[in-house]
Structure 1
Amino acid sequence: MQHAETPPPQCILLAGASGGLGQALLQTLHSQYPDAVLLTISRHDIDLLGDTHQHCTAELEDPGSVAVVNGWLAERPVPNWVVVCCGILHWDKHGPEKNLRQCNDDTLMRSVTVNVLTHLHLAQALDPYLKRRSPLTWASLSAKVGSIEDNHLGGWYSYRMSKAALNMLVRNLSIEWGRKVDACRVVAVHPGTTDTPLSEPFQENIPADKLYTPTQSAERIVTVLQQLQEEDHGKLLFWDGSPIPW
């Protein structure tokens, strides 16, 4: 990816800010853009990082959050950057399915709700405020396992299916918002395996140099956003900015 001289964001919106990677992104964005208005959303309250930081506590899984977040955004600047970290891989006694026998409707719907609907609801809340001449960069954190073409191992049904659906949402947003906003970059980003509770049960067989700290992943994601090119719009990108096939 070639470096692009893009103006620094004046307002950044980070959703899923209370998670492991979300917290690291919050610190990284605040450090690199201390003068930007920093808007965060999560299901839990978080400590504010200064006068430019404003927080909204909302359950983006809930369709009612669209109206809540929409009303909150009405009194704030239109974000130039939006980063959505919401996602889930395992919970309680549920882990990724290895075969069809382990699949059930409830776990699939839970995966779709957290991995897709949270991103959709935020997009619906933000959409009315987008302006043609106000640059927009949107990044949904996705996963390489959501790539249909890259899937050679199978398994992980619910997670793969939900991430593939998220990738399609991102693609659709890139088309609709690309018609609506002049300088628009909408992408999905695979952050790599990051040392957070999401990946913790699956780290045993990962080489040490392939398991990244939250700070490493956060800094890489921000670098990808800084260097986005016009041809990256509507694509799934690796943490180094290279494209991953859908």
Structure 2
Amino acid sequence: MNQPDNSPPACILVAGASGGLGVALCRELIARFPRATLLTVSRGEVQLAPTQSHLKTNLSDPESVAATAQWLQSQPLPNWVINCCGTLHWDGHLPEKNLLQCTDEALLRSISVNVLSHLHLAQALSPQLRRQSPLTWASLSAKVGSIEDNGLGGWYSYRMSKAALNMLVRNLSIEWGRKLDSCRVVAVHPGTTDTALSKPFQKNIAVDKLYAPALSAERVVSVIAGLQDSDTGKLLFWDGTTIHW
């Protein structure tokens, strides 16, 4: 694979753009790359920049693949794709503390949001890719999805779905690495960020380990901007270091 330069992206796609970290990432990207076209995808409305184009769709739904692919055909080809889609808890469900708390419903919902939303976006984007057009893809994942790092157990559905997401990223890095001259595909752990996703668990987190969305966004964008060819297919911490699968 040829060594692509780290020139500023001309077009950036952010999925899950209406979430707490998604909005912060969009603002950081607008500030850092004011000339870039911003494409956003989310279940809700998002309007953050005059150069922004938005698609309202639920990427967990298989029907979103065709709708997203059609929309992408009318947009510039993105150089960067950042997928922030993810869930940890919802009404009636908190992360499982033991095996007997696990349900099929919770696991399937976790996989739908944490994995299929990334798979479906990749399926919509893949036909648009061109061999000589550099691509950087970053899926926001979680350290708890690392099998090697798991020393505490629990959180079955979330851990299992994030481990599956990490495998998706690894597979994409291989397939697109063969298809494109310049391709970097990674999963990034942004750290525990002060958003709705972490709210029920923040009392157990040290103050210096709970990060403002703007800080996490700045770190994630810096990691993406500094990627090298050797990083493709890896799970990276917010400081750019590698987390073992």
- TM bin, normalised by shorter chain, reads over 0.9
Matched, 1:139 2:141: no
1:150 & 1:140 partners in 2: Cα distance? 19
- Give structure 1 stretches of 5+ with no counterpart: none
Matched, 1:47 2:74: no
1:5 deviates by 5.9
1:2-81 paired onto structure 2 within 5 Å: 6-50=6-50, 52-81=51-80
1:1-246 paired onto structure 2 within 5 Å: 6-50=6-50, 52-246=51-245
**Percent of residue pairs identical:** 68
1:171 & 1:6 partners in 2: Cα distance? 22
1:40 & 1:188 partners in 2: Cα distance? 19
Q: Is the contact between residue 48 and residue 54 of structure 1 (CA under 8 Å) also seen in structure 2?
A: no
Q: Deviations over 1:86-135 (max 9, x none)?
A: 00000002000000110010000000000000000000000001111101
Q: Is the contact between residue 48 and residue 55 of structure 1 (CA under 8 Å) also seen in structure 2?
A: no
AA matched with 1:10: A
- Hey, which bits of structure 1, 4+ residues long, moved more than 4 A? none
Q: Is the contact between residue 12 and residue 39 of structure 1 (CA under 8 Å) also seen in structure 2?
A: yes
2:61 & 2:225 partners in 1: Cα distance? 31
Secondary structure (helix, strand or coil) at the match of 2:131 reads: coil
Q: Is the contact between residue 12 and residue 81 of structure 1 (CA under 8 Å) also seen in structure 2?
A: yes
**Taking structure 2 as the reference length, what is the TM-score of the superposition?**
0.97
Q: Is the contact between residue 139 and residue 189 of structure 1 (CA under 8 Å) also seen in structure 2?
A: yes
What is the alpha-carbon root mean square deviation over aligned residues? 0.9
Secondary structure (helix, strand or coil) at the match of 1:148 reads: coil
**Matched length:** 242
1:229 deviates by 1.1
1:225 & 1:79 partners in 2: Cα distance? 14
1:117 & 1:65 partners in 2: Cα distance? 11
